[in-house]
Structure 1
Amino acid sequence: MVQQQVVIVGGGMVGLSLSLMLAKANIQVKLLEAIQYPDEQQAADLPYHSSFDARNTALSRRSVEIYQKLGLWDALQQHATPILQVHITEQGGFGKARLVAEQEKVESFGQVIENAWLGRVLLSQVRAQPLIELIDAAKVIAIEQNEQQVRLGYSRAGQQYQLETSLLIAADGRDSYCRQALGVSVDVHDYDQVAIVTSVETSKPHQQVGFERFSALGPLALLPLPGDYRRSVVWPVKKGTEHEWLGEENDQHFLDALQQTYADRAGKFVRTGKRFCFPLSQVLAERQAIGRVVLMGNAAHTIHPVAGQGFNLCMRDAYVLVRFITEQISRGQDMGDPEMLKAYEQARLSDQRRVIKFCDAVVRGFSTKNPALKLIRNTGLLAFDLIPGIKPLIANYAMGLKS
């Protein structure tokens, strides 16, 4: 039986980032991940190519600041693109809203980074950190806890292992085994949508402008990528229609739909990469602190990508949790104390609820075709663009600086 300070289950982007935050605070971590990563030599030999199939993440300014504090931003920035403007419009509507970084006196509203590069840098840093022990291809098969500790069972390469920890962090995704094993129920809302994700090339340079366009087919986000003419696409469409947009035989059909939606705003859509798709639903855990276990990332809350807030919300959760843990240690107290974890949960609920409510309201509000509601939506977009004081408030919130 091995005793560890902190065990994290889930080595995705949230789990990797959180483990580095803890190590930065001089806290030992054991990180378990179900998939098998390429070994260090394989990863070193594998060249990174900026491809049209790369999925990406929009990092808020707050998330960028966290990576800066971890000393990772110089490496991450090599394949990141700043968002200097955000344009929000509705197809067939008169309202529009525009945010300009220079007017809000900020360097940018955030950075768009390809997941392939973000994951590569995080994994490399985790492997180089002596305070982190990474165990991949490890499937958790049992969890139980008492007042003093959490006991975890996992299988790897046909063998079974057990370990104990005073604090377990479950960052094992939307369908979290840990959450289910602990009997935590979830509130699920199916949006009846599927997100189409890809990268495209346009004839006009993106000039670091991000577009959010609400169309008849769904809310479409077009964000700048490294390379003057490359842009990412996240397009939620009605479930059951996704096959219309997938496959090489539908490349031109997809490009034509983008062209019709955006007209000449991005120039001509000249090339598309392979499209990926995944179903969209809101999944909220009833509790996030369960004894000596805390849920993190999509295990705690999975939200609609309409405003690009999901990963950034998780990063703020992780940052605050590390602060609570380090303060607990500095007082010489138990770092897995259930009361402390409950206090963390309460401290994060306000920010989480605001983001979840906002994203859900945008999806529902722009999904209806009622003419009266469309008039209200477009009037609201005009008000956003014209009334003094609204832009700085919304901009700071979107950047993750008001949480």
Structure 2
Amino acid sequence: MSQQPVIIVGGGMVGLSLALMLARQGIAIRLLEAVKYPENASGEPATYHSSFDARNTALSRRTVQIFSELGLWEKLSQHATPILQVNISEQGGFGKARLQAHEEKVESFGQVIENAWLGRVLLSEVRANANIELVDGIQVTSLQQDAGKVWVTAQRGSDQLQFQSSLLIAADGRDSFCRKALGIGVDEHDYQQVAIVTTVQTSKPHGQVAFERFSKNGPLALLPLPGITGQQDSYRRSVVWTVEKGSEQQWLGEHNDQQFLQALQHTYGNRAGEFTKTGKRFAYPLSQVLAHSQVSGRVVLMGNAAHTLHPVAGQGFNLCMRDAHVLTRYLSEQYQAGQDMGDNARLKHYEQARLSDQKRVIRFCDSVVRGFSNQNPLLKLARNTGLVAFDVIPGAKQLVATYAMGLKV
């Protein structure tokens, strides 16, 4: 049977990555993205885009492996820095836990990369791939399907267009239009928290060390970033600081730079030296959104359309990449056999194959956020005792490191 291009709705980092995975298998892709992508001349800094924003992403070892399989890691690594050590602590507590790459006999736990650079490399590869038709600046307005096909109607300027395929993959984000059009419900939990995201400079080099520090407001992640050209050491760090919803405005705006740095110093302490400079801050409300189903007929939900997680431990994007990698394997088998890639029974097999890994990660992220948010003195004592025990119990570090690296799937 002749194959029409697989439709992917949503051209963020997950949608672009999945398109490249499928195209590598010879599958034709039509990628629809609502926002017009930026144009960048060679050598210019990456332009922020709604999909490639001010945030940074900690890529797990498994995600790095996937990008290596795609032949992209050589390009991505130029804008990434490895995590050689992870320190975990709680503000006002005595317990501390530490993971070191050399103890786990790996070169790193993962790599930190700025979303703008990751998006730029992915977009460049998609534009150059003959198997991918990229249609940006187009808004999907309806989605329908029957026993043999799925089609969407979309608006681009004054033009109304219609596309059809045997399979549609909805990677159109947390508030997915496609998910709503299919009538798939969600379980949503609002954490009543906002993530303040920025880049800071410190008086001490980061030494490829990542920190996760828990405070009464929520977790504070401090991740190493690549240095400025010509510097031997890097003093740049990514900050993801969780604060109570409604309090974020006091930390935004250039006039609040010094106030923000002082508050950050108070929460984090002096292990990074002095926080000397901050970039522009961005605020992102935090919630958990889980779709009731990830497959409906000939449609698969992918990325944040399927599951949006709290950013604690940096698991969300890495989980999505494992989803995309497994889906690619299933679809490639169908394609190579000349069979229907939109076959619902086969898509349901994919969904079932991913549930164990997804549930484990979702449960872990949610329990960490809820557990460390409770300021009961007895629970705080138990948490810090646990952090001390984690540092000395044989095998505990290896188990946690394996899960964090995305290798136990």
TM-score w.r.t. the length of structure 2 is 0.95
Pairing 1:3-402 to 2, within 5 Å after superposition: 4-38=4-38, 42-44=39-41, 47-48=44-45, 54-227=54-227, 228-402=234-408
Residue 347 of structure 2 aligns to a residue in which SS? Answer: helix
CA contact (8 A) 1:193 1:280 kept: yes
Question: Aligned pair in 2 of structure 1 residues 43, 339: CA closer, same or farther (>3 Å)?
Answer: same
- Paired with 2:139 and 2:4, the residues of 1 have a C-alpha distance of 18
**One-letter code of the match for 1:348?**
R
Uncovered stretches (5+) of structure 1, i.e. residues with no partner: none
SS where residue 378 of structure 2 aligns? helix
**Deviation (angstroms), 1:339:** 0.4
- Amino acid in structure 1 at the alignment position of 2:351: E
Q: Distance in 2 between matches of 1:32 and 1:49?
A: 21
How far residue 330 of structure 1 moved from its aligned partner, in angstroms, is 3.0
Task: Flag the 1:49–1:23 CA change in 2: closer, same or farther, 3 A.
Answer: closer
- Distance, in Å, in 2 between the alignment partners of 1:267 and 1:360 is 31
Deviations 1:125-149 (A, max 9, x none): 0000000000001110111111111
Summarize deviations over 1:91-147 as a string: whole Å, max 9, x none: 111111100000000010000000111011000000000000000011101111111
* Corresponding pairs, count: 398
1:26 aligned counterpart, secondary structure: coil
CA RMSD of aligned residues (A): 1.5
C-alpha change, 1:184 and 1:36, in structure 2 (3 Å) is same
1:11 maps to a residue whose letter is G
Q: Distance in 2 between matches of 1:3 and 1:208?
A: 46
Matched-pair contact (CA < 8 Å) for 2:6–2:29: yes
Residue 326 of structure 2 aligns to which amino acid in structure 1?
Answer: V
| Structure 1 stretch displaced more, 315-324 or 328-337 | 328-337
CA contact (8 A) 2:312 2:365 kept: yes
CA distance in 2, matches of 1:158, 1:45: 32
Cα shift at 1:331: 3.2
The answer (yes or no) to whether the contact 1:35–1:136 under 8 Å persists in 2 is yes
Deviates more, 1:300-309 or 1:149-158: 149-158
Q: Per the alignment, in what secondary structure is the counterpart of residue 266 of structure 2?
A: helix
Secondary structure of residue in 1 paired with 2:166:
strand
Q: Comparing 85-94 with 3-12, which one deviates more in the overlay?
A: 3-12
1:45 CA displacement: 5.4
CA distance in structure 1 between the aligned counterparts of 2:119 and 2:336, rounded to whole angstroms? 31
- Looking at structure 2, the residues matched to 138 and 235 of structure 1 have their Cα atoms a distance apart, in angstroms, of 34
1:46 CA drift (Å): 6.9
**AA partner of residue 281 (structure 1):** S
Q: For structure 2, which runs of at least 5 residues remain unmatched after alignment?
A: 228-233
Displacement of 1:49 in angstroms is 6.4
User: What CA distance in whole angstroms lies between the structure 2 residues aligned with 1:45 and 1:157?
Assistant: 28
Corresponding letter in the other structure for 2:307: H
Asked if the contact 1:3/1:163 (under 8 Å) is kept, the reply is no
Quote the Cα distance in structure 1 between the aligned partners of 2:216 and 2:369: 12
Runs of 4+ in 1 over 6 A off after TM superposition: none
CA deviation vs aligned residue, 1:12-35 (integer Å, no higher than 9, x gap): 000000000001111100000000
What does the per-residue CA deviation read over 1:349-382, in whole Å, with 9 as the maximum and x for residues that have no partner? 0100000000000000000110010011111111
After TM superposition, give the deviation of residue 44 of structure 1 in Å: 1.8
Give, in whole Å, the separation in 2 of the partners of 1:142 and 1:258: 45
Give the % identical residues: 69
- Deviation for aligned residue 1:5: 3.0
